[in-house]
Structure 1
């Protein structure tokens, strides 16, 4: 049976046997044709660090990138490194995507992560901290304070900090305490004045208190001291009658990846809640210590935490620089990116009467493509669902929820719709990593309001971003659909770059109706008209589309593949791109994070170009564009090119058919790949090189700034009319 999408795309003669031939290993492709995915991820985080090193960026933004680097690395250890260790310990270790033993990859990761963490600490100490100080924000040390300042901070300590501290002694009567993951701690050695014996104590730095405490009386200069520094200089108050011999900061990372074995008969919510409790007690995988920690204290920690020397990270600076997120409360707009207010998409702008626009009327006229955060989430996606909730002609709303904010107006709109008597279906993916607890809360709140809440299919995460509104118009039911590349999350929509397509196309409406019915029922087996859906059809469809470009190139026809994703890892997709490149197809890959594709394979990757763009906004959209002999086929959606997305998740791509939208997407892509754009270039050996200036030293174009200006200009042009 032919996939209707591909038949519409000109592949109606592609038989399954032909597809099987595409999948066969190609003896002309070299054996070592992939980059290690874990090391490629570390290279991505290095690109984040390079933004913190950029002196042309505002100082508080540089501090923010240091915090992002630290947060990213924490998650990498909690999930990726933890997974490798688990496979090694359980004897289930299989070779990685480059054919190496997990133990060897773990050693490579350790070496690279050590180097990056040292670089990270140095960037803070020698670059960003001094730059902040020059701009009037000083992170000071206790020894640099005046006596008056110390007394004032001492009063603050006694009133706000001391009451919540919990020192835990370690002695025959007090076993070594449990150290929670990602907590910042002080390891303290003390001498009992009565017995003369040395003791050990652990003190957790309270995570609910501000990490940076304001030093009063600084005048125009804002001065702060780290919370752990303040605590360390008042340890005598915590151990009266004891002599404090030494103290050192340390921090532990644990395996916090959730593994839920699903079964049709068990309650997924209960199983997940039980697993979340276990997460707190995952085995240690990284110990960070300050570089002045003495051997006695370190040996005790290694012994009690059952951790290896390889897993110890000795750092020359403060630990847990995620705390730099705390500086976001400082009111210094001159040290941040200039403010940007998203515009309302032209189709959704109010008319001359300035009345609230009718979203359904606008979508009914023509498909609407919205580009966040340049165009407003609130006046598009949120307005779409809120209007649906209050519209008496709307009969039903169906939506997927993967990650959403704690005070989500999206969730509230679904609740309002259910309370208004509409049929509402919410597919809540409670297994969204590190958002599990939040999603469980919202799932229960939705259920109490009368929303039909389902949790997807056994063994699959539902990652697609879909919303469907059924509206009665003149006795006929009409479908209004939204297919997006990003989550229904108003908060992240301000910093995540994403696309969303609104359409009243009945074909898309029928596709989504069938897909939602299958998601709330059983396995996804059907094929669709304008959607490519994983896990059954997405990989196969993309392979055919790539192979069509290969055949066009061999026939002397125009051929071009453009793919924008967060991660490019899947070997079958990569091999298809290699085959296309070898046949003469121009292949452009725009990737934010991991890229296992190589560009240094003579005769294989000669026509492949890979770029990465990081900046003010997190590039998150996924775009797949194929030249198709002059009739471009473009799809957008939720899927990255990873095994989990193609094989173990429900993903959806929608084909964009409006010529103006196709042009907008391909033009954006071409600007990103242009040598005149500020970006990172993937080069031989998996090395990423940042290009910020041309040969004459002139700054290259910032794509995100340029897009901001162009969309603002588009709005002004509309208002002039």
Structure 2
């Protein structure tokens, strides 16, 4: 990578960094996210992916798209509706963004339908797994479905007629419905009705012998029972997506939990952002839905049925191991098999890489031991998301019942986990834990645990865990994350100070081994980017490597552009949305952007600065987004152990190597998947390599 004109260090100061840069240097965040979901879809399209995993990727694509409309599209519509139509960094008006989002979404949804109908469904059928429609059922199956309907569906169905005495019913978000038109044979009058599919039923009804039928087909096959004496003229499936963002003014409420619960009840009734209908729907019925739901043309998505392919998760879970990824057994770090956990961490920081290294025998064990160990006097923990049967929470409850001081910061505003977190918070309080809800106006997203123990040598010592992922045993099996355990006094003081900040009043911003948002993380990263520019100008080794889920912060991107213009190589490993343009002459020719998707969700955040040949490495919870840097409590910890630093640097270099399979981003925002070399040989699959090669992931020292 060649040098370019010298860029002064001052040119990357936040707020000033874009002064001399081209105005079109940012891509649209929304389209960037859709292109991430396109990469998920490409995994489903890949015939080399195990068949049931292809079905799961189709389900993930649908779930992702739901959330995108519920949050990102809803946000754009809210800005238009309230008159706050501020242009984005790309200078595109929200109206133009919505039109572009609509066009790309339609293209991807139709592509998903083709993948399902032309590739995945036929391959499933060939493997003996069939998803059939009602008219494909044989007589035996129909008789079975008649019994199932009367026993399990009919009792919970409620058809809603629409006439002057019965206004159009409210359609809750993400519910699957049938729009039905019937005629009264006595007077010839035509009427409209809506039938909602019961949420207690699976998406696909099991016919036996690995044959399944969509639930709406079973209901549609029995409409004559629901509308006895009427002539059923037509029926069509439809589905509504609504704005699911919550708005709670923390400055105006005395009880945050109660206010949030009220908002959760209102979430089902948010404004419509998308109406999905099967492509076979008649114009008459579609016009009724448009009118009654208030849907604009751009909000209507006509797609081949069945709708809501997120339900394919049910198919992907079938016990057909030969059609799934091979099982993976996480390893336990060798040092923990040789010594007591606390003794091992006292001797040396411990870095663990999930899911390749066991979450159960490291993080869960750490907190379970803290709860049971009589030498432990206090436990402090942040919880952003956790599972429904959380062993982590049970350990905290056990610790409190054992008389230890237990403080838990529960982020009840974690999107789509609000109700779950409220429930856990109340259970923790009932057990005697001190539960706090964070800092007013900020979400607490950092992943921290602090255990205070009176060790055998009489010293009251602090044991820390800083992670990149949630304390969630379920997702720890499929999310790629790092966790760092340390008994280093500086790390212990940092976590104590940060917890005191979170539970009390403090304006502390300077820490020893931590960079903490919102007070100091942005400036800490910018300072290190400036340091790399200075090192390059002085002829010292300079390089920046970053791994994040999303890269959309304009100041940081301008800083990276300035580093590139100065000649500093910049490697970016971005799973999701990236609005930086790599490879632009005079702007970013020294920047490469790669993305890796696969069996595990790449979730860790790593920041490596060459630092003149002595790399400084940080890991933690923060993505490079304004919300993470300015509106959340985030924490990165500096990795002190040289072997662990080398391990993380090697991982970054392996991911960015041309011999590793990845998606590679072009300046126009397009991503190209590269899985084979010029000789048509498979490139390295980094996740398989880590899964199969223990030496790539374990440093015992």
TM-score by length of 1: 0.94
CA-to-partner distance for each residue in 1:170-216, whole Å, 9 max, x for gaps?
11111100100000100000001222100111011112112222224
Correspondence 1:620-631 to 2 at 5 A: 620-631=603-614
Pairwise CA distance, 1:28: 3.5
Aligned to 2:464: 481
Could you tell me which of 172, 178, 188 is aligned with 1:186?
Answer: 178
Aligned to 1:513: 496
Alpha-carbon distance between aligned partners in 1 of 2:507 and 2:290, rounded to the nearest angstrom: 49
Provide structure 2 residue ranges, at least 5 long, that are not aligned to the other structure: 1-8
Secondary structure of 1:215's aligned partner: strand
Task: Check if 1:312 corresponds to 2:303.
Answer: no
Task: Check if 1:617 corresponds to 2:609.
Answer: no
Pairwise CA distance, 1:328: 3.4
Superposed CA RMSD in Å reads 1.6
Secondary structure of 2:668's aligned partner: helix
Correspondence 1:253-652 to 2 at 5 A: 253-263=241-251, 266-349=254-337, 351=338, 358-473=340-455, 474-652=457-635
Could you tell me which of 100, 116, 119 is aligned with 1:124?
Answer: 116
Aligned to 1:171: 163
Higher relative contact order (CA 8 A, sep 6+): 2
Could you tell me which of 246, 252, 257 is aligned with 2:234?
Answer: 246
Secondary structure of 1:663's aligned partner: helix
Task: Check if 1:207 corresponds to 2:199.
Answer: yes
Aligned to 2:86: 94
Pairwise CA distance, 1:150: 1.4
Pairwise CA distance, 1:156: 1.7
When residues 520 and 249 of structure 1 are mapped into structure 2, their CA distance, relative to the original with a 3 A threshold, is same
When residues 250 and 568 of structure 1 are mapped into structure 2, their CA distance, relative to the original with a 3 A threshold, is same
CA-to-partner distance for each residue in 1:499-522, whole Å, 9 max, x for gaps?
000000000000000100010012
Pairwise CA distance, 1:362: 1.1
CA-to-partner distance for each residue in 1:13-39, whole Å, 9 max, x for gaps?
xxxx96995652344421110111000
CA-to-partner distance for each residue in 1:389-433, whole Å, 9 max, x for gaps?
011111100010000011101001000000000000000000000
Could you tell me which of 81, 102, 113 is aligned with 2:105?
Answer: 113
Pairwise CA distance, 1:114: 1.0
Alpha-carbon distance between aligned partners in 1 of 2:506 and 2:623, rounded to the nearest angstrom: 21
Q: Is the 8 A contact 1:367 1:504 kept in 2?
A: yes
Pairwise CA distance, 1:224: 1.3
Alpha-carbon distance between aligned partners in 1 of 2:245 and 2:426, rounded to the nearest angstrom: 23
Alpha-carbon distance between aligned partners in 1 of 2:202 and 2:236, rounded to the nearest angstrom: 20
Alpha-carbon distance between aligned partners in 2 of 1:88 and 1:409, rounded to the nearest angstrom: 44
Alpha-carbon distance between aligned partners in 2 of 1:714 and 1:348, rounded to the nearest angstrom: 15
Pairwise CA distance, 1:529: 0.4
When residues 205 and 265 of structure 1 are mapped into structure 2, their CA distance, relative to the original with a 3 A threshold, is closer
Secondary structure of 1:686's aligned partner: coil
Alpha-carbon distance between aligned partners in 2 of 1:448 and 1:314, rounded to the nearest angstrom: 49
CA-to-partner distance for each residue in 1:634-665, whole Å, 9 max, x for gaps?
00000000000000000000000111100110
CA-to-partner distance for each residue in 1:276-307, whole Å, 9 max, x for gaps?
11111101110000001011111111111111
Q: Is the 8 A contact 1:37 1:97 kept in 2?
A: no
The alignment of Structure 1 onto Structure 2 pairs a total of residues equal to 692
Pairwise CA distance, 1:264: 6.8
Q: Is the 8 A contact 1:464 1:637 kept in 2?
A: yes
Pairwise CA distance, 1:63: 0.4
Q: Is the 8 A contact 1:33 1:601 kept in 2?
A: no
Provide structure 1 residue ranges, at least 5 long, that are not aligned to the other structure: 1-16, 352-356
Pairwise CA distance, 1:711: 2.3
Pairwise CA distance, 1:476: 2.0
Pairwise CA distance, 1:142: 2.1
Could you tell me which of 131, 134, 137 is aligned with 2:129?
Answer: 137
Aligned to 1:4: none
When residues 714 and 578 of structure 1 are mapped into structure 2, their CA distance, relative to the original with a 3 A threshold, is closer
Q: Is the 8 A contact 2:583 2:591 kept in 1?
A: no
Alpha-carbon distance between aligned partners in 1 of 2:499 and 2:654, rounded to the nearest angstrom: 36
TM-score by length of 2: 0.97
Q: Is the 8 A contact 2:183 2:230 kept in 1?
A: yes
Q: Is the 8 A contact 2:408 2:433 kept in 1?
A: yes
Pairwise CA distance, 1:230: 1.4
